[in-house]
A = this chain, B = another copy of it.
Amino acid sequence: MKLAVVGATGEVGRMMLKKLEEESIEPDGIDLFSSSRSAGSLMKFTGKSVEVRELREDSLRTYYDYVLFSAGASVSKVFAPIAASYGAVVIDNSSAFRQSEGIPLVVPEINGFLLKDYRGIVANPNCSTIQMVLSLYKIHRKFGLRIVVVSTYQAVSGAGNRGIVELEKQEAGSQDHAVFVRKIHRNVVPVIGDILENSFSVEEMKMVNETRKILGDSKISIWPTTVRVPVMHGHSEAIFCETEKPFDLEDLRVELRASEDVVLTDEKFTPAEIAGSDLVYVSRIRSFDSHRFLLWNVADNIRVGAATNAVRILKMHAGGV
C-alpha cells in the first residue's frame, strides 16, 4: 500500500499519522506533504523518520492507493482531483467536495456501504457533524428525526494548532485575537466561519447539509448554533430532537447502546475527560414527553471528528467494506 498525507504537519494531519500507527496500518511507502512553510521538517512514522516535502503541482502525479488530505478546501480543490485521476482513493477532510453530487460523505459506522467498489474522492464530514450523527443515526432509523436543535461547545483545536496557540497566549495575558473573531479566553464566541446571507454561519450550514446527506434524509429540519469555547480538545453538543414515532427513554438507550463507537454514560460528560478517546460519549438523556428528547454528547474533535473517521474510511475501504 502506497500512502500520502497532505497537510501532515497540522493538528489533524499529525493525528492521522498517529491513528494509522494505532490501527497498525503499515504502508510500503508514505509521502508527507505540507506547505513550503513546514517543508523540510522530519516526522516520525512507525519508527522511521520521514521528511515532509512541499506540495507542488506535480507532487501527486503518481499512483497512490490512498491520499489523505487535511490542508484546507482550497488545497483540496486543486490537488484532490489530480490524485484521484492518478488512481488514488482520496480521503478529504476539507469541505471542498462534501456537497458535490456523486461524492460520498462518509461516517463508516453509518454509511460505510458507499465505499464498496468506490474509487475517487471520499469526503470526510465536519467535526461537529460526525459526533452528532454518530449519536443519532440509529435513533433516526428507528423513530425518524423530524427536528434537531443543536448548540455546540467547540474546542479551539478545531481551528488547528493556531487556535490552541491563540488561547494559550491569551491565558498568558495577550489581548490580541486573530484566529477567532473575539478573545476566546474567559469568553465564548457564537460565530464559527463566515456569516452567510441567511444569517447562519458556514459551520452551522455544514451541520445542516452534511447531516441530511449522511443520514440520507433531506426532510430533517436542523437548527444549529455553533459556538467556540475556551477548551483545548473535545467538542460538546446539547442536542434536542423531535421524532416522527413515539418512544420511551429506554427505547433510546437501546439504540444508543447498539450504536457503534458510541458510549452511553452518565460518568464522562465533559470534554476534558474524554480527550484522546475515539468514542462518542452520550449522557444526560431526558424527556418530558414521547416525541422529544434532549441529550448531551462529547467527543475528541481531532480524533472522532476528523483523523479517526478518515482512517476508519481508509481501513474499511482497504478491507473491501
Interface residues of A (CB under 8 A from B): 149, 151, 153, 171, 182-183, 186-191, 198-200, 221, 223, 225, 227, 229-232, 236, 238, 240, 249, 269-273, 283-286, 288-289, 292, 294, 296
Contact of A236 among B190, B232, B292 (CB under 8 A): B190
The interface residues of chain B lying within 8 Å CB-to-CB of A151 are 151, 225, 238
Query: Are A225 and B296 in contact (CB-based, < 8 A)?
Result: yes
How many Å lie between the Cα of A221 and that of B147 in the bound state? Answer: 15
- Contact A270/B198 with A149-B240, A153-B229, A225-B151 known, Cβ cut-off 8 Å: no
Residue of B whose beta carbon sits closest to that of A295: B225
Contact of A191 among B171, B198, B269, B285 (CB under 8 A): B269
How many copies of this kind of chain does the complex include? 2
The interface residues of chain B lying within 8 Å CB-to-CB of A292 are 221, 223
Query: Are A200 and B286 in contact (CB-based, < 8 A)?
Result: yes
Query: Are B221 and A238 in contact (CB-based, < 8 A)?
Result: no
Nearest-neighbour CB distance to chain B for A89, whole angstroms, equals: 35
Query: Are B190 and A269 in contact (CB-based, < 8 A)?
Result: yes
Query: Are A270 and B225 in contact (CB-based, < 8 A)?
Result: no
The interface residues of chain B lying within 8 Å CB-to-CB of A238 are 151, 190, 225, 227
Nearest-neighbour CB distance to chain B for A239, whole angstroms, equals: 8
Query: Are B286 and A198 in contact (CB-based, < 8 A)?
Result: yes
Nearest-neighbour CB distance to chain B for A195, whole angstroms, equals: 8
The interface residues of chain B lying within 8 Å CB-to-CB of A269 are 182, 189-191
- Contact A190/B284 with A149-B149, A151-B238 known, Cβ cut-off 8 Å: yes
Query: Are A231 and B272 in contact (CB-based, < 8 A)?
Result: no
Most buried by B among A225, A236, A283: A225
Residue of B whose beta carbon sits closest to that of A235: B188
Nearest-neighbour CB distance to chain B for A174, whole angstroms, equals: 14
How many Å lie between the Cα of A101 and that of B270 in the bound state? Answer: 38
Query: Are A286 and B186 in contact (CB-based, < 8 A)?
Result: no
Query: Are A271 and B190 in contact (CB-based, < 8 A)?
Result: no
